[in-house]
Amino acid sequence: MFLWFMQPDIWLTLITLTFLEIILGVDNIIFLSLVVAKLPLSQQNMARKLGLSCAMIMRILLLISIAWLSHITQPLFTVLTLEISFRTLILLGGGQFLSYKAIQEIREELSPAQEDEHGSGSRQLSLCGAIVQIMLLDIVFSLDSVITAVGLSQHIFIMIAAVMIAVGVMMFAAKTIGDFVNATPSIKILALTFLLFVGVLLVADSLNIHIAKEYLYFAIFFSLSVETLNIIRERRNKKVSTLIETHESHSH
């Protein structure tokens, strides 16, 4: 029963699937951070854990439903020359919702006066509402990765183990990433732009317009690197200015 522990190809598949789940979970962590930020501080940690735990359960249920997944790409009907399947509808709806949420958040970030007028309470979600949003978007985000996992391995326990390990890594990293994104306005705008592009890619994919996600990841990584260097430079300049002011005050 436990002979799979001794097989190198099993371990290689597990590592590959875990790495795939973590990489494809970046957009999920960013969305999670933005949703959780709308909750009271006392509920944010619980929302992260509950949201990711429920999302993990949903992914495992998707993996168990392998027979259903094999039929999810089968056409239901045809519009002009486009074949519509369950996958098409899920990606189209999820992409539109994600694009709407990203645009709404960008508008709020660029309109501080409007936020002050209505107060922060109008922007807050309920704990249940936040978890539902996290779960629904996780289904959209993980749909293709789950289908890919099914194609890479015939062992259901390996796929489930990879999902559990990846979610564990996300739980560990979610708070740090979320705090960094929400504490740095320029990074938050960059993250929202990333989510907007992911939404557009999902809609395009649902219409059989395939755009390699690697280009988006490279562009975001490059922009993030440049912005991080700018933040480091600004902090060092502030430290130098503070030291100069302190020195001048002591000299007088």
Asked whether residue 172 is domain-assigned, the answer is: yes
> Are 202 and 232 contained in the same domain?
no
172 CB-contact burial (10 Å; exposed 0-12 / middle 13-18 / buried 19+): exposed
Are residue 190 and residue 227 in the same domain, yes or no?
A: no
**What end-to-end distance do the CA atoms of the chain give, in Å?**
79
Q: Is the pLDDT of residue 71 over 70?
A: no
The answer to whether 167 and 63 have CB atoms below 8 angstroms apart is no
Q: Is 89 in the same domain as 197? A: yes
One domain, residues 124 and 99: yes
pLDDT in the model for residue 102: 87
For residue 151, pLDDT over 80 is answered with: no
Q: Are residues 195 and 245 in the same domain?
A: no
* Three-class DSSP category at 207: coil
**Per the domain annotation, does 3 fall within a domain?**
no
Q: 123 falls in which pLDDT band (50, 70, 90)?
A: low
Structure confidence at residue 244 (pLDDT): 76
> Looking at residue 218, what is its pLDDT?
81
More confident site: 7 or 236 = 236
Q: Is the pLDDT of residue 247 over 80?
A: no
For the cut 50, the answer to whether the pLDDT of residue 119 exceeds it is no
252 found inside a domain:
yes
Whether residue 218 sits in one domain with residue 199: no
Contact assessment for residue 148 and residue 69, using Cβ atoms and an 8 Å cutoff = no
Q: How many domains does the chain have?
A: 2
Residue 120 in this model has a pLDDT that exceeds 50? no
Q: Are residues 175 and 222 in the same domain?
A: no
Does 1 fall in a domain? no
128 and 225, same structural domain? no
Q: Are residues 125 and 239 in the same domain?
A: no
Contact 7, 15 (CB under 8 A): no
Share of the chain above pLDDT 70, in %: 83
With respect to residue 2, please indicate whether it lies within any of the assigned structural domains. no
Q: What is the residue-averaged pLDDT of the chain? A: 78
pTM of the model as a whole: 0.71
Residue with tokens 């522990």: 5
Burial 95-115 (b: 16+ CB within 10 A, else e): bebbbebbeebbeeeeeeeee
Which H/E stretch holds residue 83? strand 82-84
Q: Which residue has the tokens 């705008």?
A: 189
Same domain, 198 and 251: no
134 and 218 together in one domain:
no
Are 197 and 251 contained in the same domain?
no
DSSP type of residue 208: T
For residue 68, what pLDDT is reported?
67
Q: Which of 55-64, 69-78, 128-137 has the lowest mean pLDDT?
A: 69-78
Least confident of 23-37, 75-89, 114-128, 161-175: 114-128
Q: At 82, phi and psi to the nearest 5?
A: -95, 120
Is residue 159's pLDDT more than 70? yes
Question: Is residue 17 in some structural domain?
Answer: yes
Q: Retrieve residue 136's tokens.
A: 């629904």
Does the residue 250 lie in any domain? Answer: yes
Q: Domain residues for 137? A: 8-72+82-211
Cα Dmax for the chain: 81
What confidence score (pLDDT) does residue 179 get? 82
Residue 153 inside a domain? The answer is yes
Range of weakest confidence among 18-27, 28-37, 55-64, 195-204: 18-27
- Report the sign of the C-alpha dihedral through residues 94, 98, 99, 101, in that order: positive
What average pLDDT does the segment 113-118 reach?
46
